[in-house]
Amino acid sequence: MAPRNAPRSRRERPAKPALTYDGIVATAVRLMKDEGLRRVTMRRLAQELDTGPASLYVYVANTAELHAAILEELLGAVDLTPVAAPGDWRDRLAGVLGSYTEVLFQHPDLAHSALVARPSGPNYLALVEAVLALLHEGGVPDGQAAWGVDVLLQVATATAAEQSARDRDAAAEDEHLALVAALRAVPAETYPRIAALAGDLVSGTPEQRLAWTFRAVINGARTTARTTD
């Protein structure tokens, strides 16, 4: 046992390290990994940093910005090596997008927040750059590449966000099952095409569907001119 009244805790563990933006974000990332994004609230985070919630507003404008900062941090894990690897550009682009998707699927609540407040830090920019570089290599015209990168990242993000809601709580899963049931039980007179395609509409894993979607969007972006109409 340490002697009583020793000034240890005062000197070795300064109870309150000064607040910094980086420190706040790092704590937020840890909190999210430990307890999920739902618990990364201004109040809970302030508690973790041994302060009051008002103090955080000096560094972060609101909760959405905080969540965007967490995502930006995690985007450092996206594998961008396919950009410089050999092989077909489409496959390598699908690889980068697949890696982005994996990051989102591992922390799926973030995908949801990414749709609302996109990050704009270096890791996000590096991802955009990688996608643009591969579209350029594939000969996709600049204007189409510029708009195409948005669509590609958006479908990946939206798919992860949808999936995340179902993973998180049973109610969202129930609702998805309700949709599947509704599609299968639909009267063929009123909805002939839905009835004809019932099986196809719900087939495949999210990953399989997303892989096809990436290819389809890449092909579409490559071949669809940006006419001003």
**Which 53-92 residues touch a second copy, going by CB under 8 A?**
61-62, 64-65, 68
Applying CB under 8 A, among 77, 136, 167, 184 the residue interacting with a second copy is: 136
42 contributes a contact to DNA by CB under 7 A: yes
3-state SS track over the chain: CCCCCCCHHHHHCCCCCCCCHHHHHHHHHHHHHHHCHHHCCHHHHHHHCCCCHHHHCCCCCCHHHHHHHHHHHHHHHCCCHHHHCCCCHHHHHHHHHHHHHHHHHHCHHHHHHHHHCCCCCHHHHHHHHHHHHHHHHCCCCHHHHHHHHHHHHHHHHHHHHHHHHHHHCHHHHHHHHHHHHHHHHCCCCCCHHHHHHHHHHCCCCHHHHHHHHHHHHHHHHHHCCCCCC
Site for DNA in 107-166 (CB under 7 A): none
Q: What is the Cα gyration radius of the chain?
A: 23
149 contributes a contact to a second copy by CB under 8 A: yes
Applying CB under 8 A, among 19, 48, 154, 207 the residue interacting with a second copy is: 154
Spatial separation of the C-alpha atoms in residues 28 and 46, rounded to whole Å: 10
5 contributes a contact to a second copy by CB under 8 A: no
170 contributes a contact to DNA by CB under 7 A: no
Give the residue from 220, 221, 225, 207 showing the smallest Cα distance to 97.
207
Give the residue from 77, 147, 67 showing the smallest Cα distance to 111.
67
Residue with tokens 């890791």: 123
Q: Which does 215 bind (CB under 5 to 8 A by kind): a second copy, DNA, none?
A: a second copy
Give the pair of three-digit tokens for residue 73. 């941090």
Site string for a second copy, 162-181 (x = CB under 8 A): x--x-----xx-xxx-xx--
Question: Least distance (Å) from a second copy to the CB of residue 48?
Answer: 23
For DNA, the closer of residues 42 and 156 by Cβ is 42
Q: Which does 15 bind (CB under 5 to 8 A by kind): DNA, a second copy, none?
A: none
Size of the site for a second copy (CB under 8 A): 72
The residue range among 25-33, 55-63, 105-113, 146-154 that interacts with DNA, by the rule CB under 7 A, is 55-63
For DNA, the closer of residues 28 and 134 by Cβ is 28
For DNA, the closer of residues 72 and 92 by Cβ is 72
62 contributes a contact to DNA by CB under 7 A: yes
Question: Least distance (Å) from a second copy to the CB of residue 97?
Answer: 14
Question: Least distance (Å) from DNA to the CB of residue 174?
Answer: 12
